[in-house]
Structures are given as structure tokens and as C-alpha cells.
Amino acid sequence: MAELTDPRGVQGRCYPLSVFVAVALAGLLCGRNTPAEWARWAADAPDAVVRALGGIGLEVGGAAWWSLPSYNRLIEVLSLLDAAELARFAARIVPEDEDADGVRQVRIDGKRPVTAGRVTGDGSKLILVGALADGGRQADQILVDDGDEIAALRALCERLDAEGALVSADALHCNEETAKAVLEAGADYCLALKGNQPILHALAKALPWHEVDNACESRESGHGRTETRTVKILTAGGGVRLPFPGLAQIARIRWWTRDEATGEVTHHVMFYLTSRDARCLRPAWFAAAIRAHWGVESWHWTKDVVFGEDRSSATAGNRVANLASLRAAAIAILKRLGGKGVTASRDRIGNRPYTAPLAVLGIADIKQEFQVCLSRESRDSN
């Protein structure tokens, strides 16, 4: 928290800056998705919780009175925080989790908030480009308002501490400029190749895949369908060449999906290019990295469906970015807790909505007291 710049004037600092971020995270952890719900949570919080968070204490008629920021003040301060600083805060909220096999991967993908049309006025150019690190932790995030997701990825590469990492992205980013930006950041790329690069795609398709016998195969069943996936890998060099900077390996992924209800089978083929050679990224690791990239889609789904990001009414660009970073921080914390998933962890914390979030955040360990919950207005009238 000390690395966040306080956007308020000296005379406007009734509450420490940490209070605003702590209230938002506590609300997110126990199932409250919107700033209005966080403010209601703060308004009804027991005095012991308010004191632990750093609320203001007043004495009225001999009785002590503790309070946390109102909705208007909460949303004002959270919107004024520097978006880049808060994105880095979300990246550091839990320690980095190194994979046992030493392959550190950063998955980059963009998403368009539902509120984009209201933000930009013309319809659709606002894009959040996020970088997902291992363990469900946001590595960084950039908000672009000109629709240039490709340039945003390159900017992320300059900001990220990506040296030694494997940076993966979808087919939109499969171009020479992006590959060079990743390499200049001291990282290796892992980029999907589809028909949006017709010449490169045709050359990859024509490679001697029939001569490869190092295929990795997997099969999964669930949600009424069975998927069989094979991955073949070629090392660049000799007769295996593609005009792409730093290319070391090429993978071909083929998968068949069978609908158990109808028996219908669909077939797909995709290629991946990487600058990391086979000594550092063995075939099984390469296949795992390709599959792991799609964890970024699950991350977006969690933010949208579980945390309501797509239903957010935020309309200011900086507010959109900052609330997204706070959701990402909450997801990283919940994933670090383990258990049966983010939703299950939120439900468990929601059983003790005032004491459990503070314990998880390491702020205070307050004993749960069972009592009739009254709003502050009701308590005042009584």
C-alpha cells in the first residue's frame, strides 16, 4: 500500500488510503461485487472491524462511534488511484508462485468491457489488456481507448518483469513486431497461428508433419462431450523453416470434439510458434504451455460471471481499469487459499462476512459474534 500514490489533497485525508482498498477487497472476498455493495458492507460493519480497518472514531454523547468511507467517497478515491500503480499492486498482492518445472508463463489477452460504448461515446474502442501469471495472479494490465490491442501487448512487454518467462498470446498477436518486442524484453514468445496470417499459416501447414512421431495425446470428458487432442512438434532448422524472428519450435495441435448426445464430431487444427528451443521447452512442456494459455479465458470468465465485471456500471476509463485490478487481486487471493475454487472460497468467507475477510487479508483476527445484524441507522434509532 505504501507504493500507491494518494490522489487526495492534504485536507481531504480523513481516512488512510489503505482503508479504501481494504474495504473493496474485503467486500469482494465475501461476495459483494459492486462499490455500492462494498459501501453497504462498510456501513454495517461492527465497530471492532471498523477500528481494525482504520476507520474514524468519534464520540457523541459519551458513546464511541466508528465509521468507514461513504459510497461517494469510496468510489471517488478508488477512481482517482493511478491505474498502473494499482495494477502492479494487484500483481504483488500474493507472492509469485514458481512452477516446479521452471517454466514461468505469462498469458496475455484483451477483453472489451460491456460499458465500452458508454465510456468512449462512439461504441467500442475501450479494451482491457491483462497479463495473467502463474497461480491465477495478474502480472499487469493496460487500458487502451483506441482499440489497438496489439500495441497494448507490446507496451505490457516493456512494463512487465518478463525476463526468462514464456509469453503466450492468441493469433491476433502473431506478427513479427510482437515477437521482437517479447524477445527484446528478455522473454520467449508462444504465439497461436491461424488463418489471419495466410502465408505463414500455409507454410506451417505444408511442413512434414507426417514424419513426426513425438505426438502428445490427451483425452478429456465433461459437459456432455469428449475431446481428444494431439500435439506434434517440429524443431526449426534445416528443411523446417518459417520466416519468423527467433523461431525455435513449431507445434501443430489437432483436436476432435464429440457431442455425446448427438454423436456429432468436429475437427480443429491450430499451430503455435515459440522462440524457446527444445532443450528449455521439451515437447510435453510445450503442449502444457499451449493448454495453459487458455487459462486466461477462464480468468476472464471468473471476472465476468463470478465478479460481475461485464455487468459493472463503471463508465469512467480509470474507474473501469481500477475496479478490474481490484477484482484481479481478489481472485489471486482466493486462488492462493486453495480449496474447491473461487466461488466455494467466497461462499465460505461469506459465512463470516466481517471477520473472515480481515483474517484472510492479514489485517486482524476478530472473534465471530453471533447477533442480530442491524444497520447503523437502525441502531441509532434504537
Per-residue pLDDT of the chain (382 residues; tens, 9 = 90+): 888 999 988 776 888 899 999 999 999 999 999 999 999 999 999 888 998 998 877 766 666 667 899 999 999 999 999 999 999 999 888 877 655 455 788 999 888 766 544 554 544 567 888 888 888 888 888 887 766 788 888 888 888 877 888 999 998 899 999 999 999 989 999 999 998 899 999 999 999 888 887 677 777 777 677 888 888 888 888 778 888 999 999 999 888 888 888 888 888 888 999 999 887 777 777 888 888 888 888 888 899 889 988 777 666 668 888 999 999 999 999 998 887 889 999 999 999 999 999 999 999 888 766 444 555 555 555 5
The three-state secondary structure class of 152 is helix
Please, are residues 20 and 38 in contact by the beta-carbon 8 Å criterion?
no
Cβ–Cβ contacts within 10 Å for residue 372, how many? 5
Instruction: Provide the pLDDT for residue 123.
Output: 47
Q: Where do the domains of the chain lie?
A: 10-81+351-381
- Rounded to whole angstroms, what are the CA distances from 131 to 35, 44, 323? 24, 36, 16
Cβ–Cβ contacts within 10 Å for residue 21, how many? 22
Rounded CA-CA distance 96/138 in Å is 10
Q: At 145, list the grid cell.
A: 481507448
Q: With b meaning 16 or more CB within 10 Å and e meaning fewer, what string describes 216-234?
A: beeeeeeeebebebebbbb
pTM: 0.82
Contacts of 8 (CB under 8 A, 6+ apart): 17, 77, 80
The three-state secondary structure class of 379 is helix
Please, are residues 258 and 159 in contact by the beta-carbon 8 Å criterion?
no
Rounded CA-CA distance 163/154 in Å is 14
Please, are residues 194 and 201 in contact by the beta-carbon 8 Å criterion?
yes
Rounded CA-CA distance 106/189 in Å is 10
Contacts of 86 (CB under 8 A, 6+ apart): 4, 321, 322, 325, 326
The three-state secondary structure class of 340 is coil
Instruction: Provide the pLDDT for residue 125.
Output: 66
- Rounded to whole angstroms, what are the CA distances from 221 to 224, 229, 261? 7, 12, 13
Packing angle of the helix pair 17-29, 317-337 (nearest 10 deg):
60
Give the residue from 72, 84, 93 showing the smallest Cα distance to 18. 93
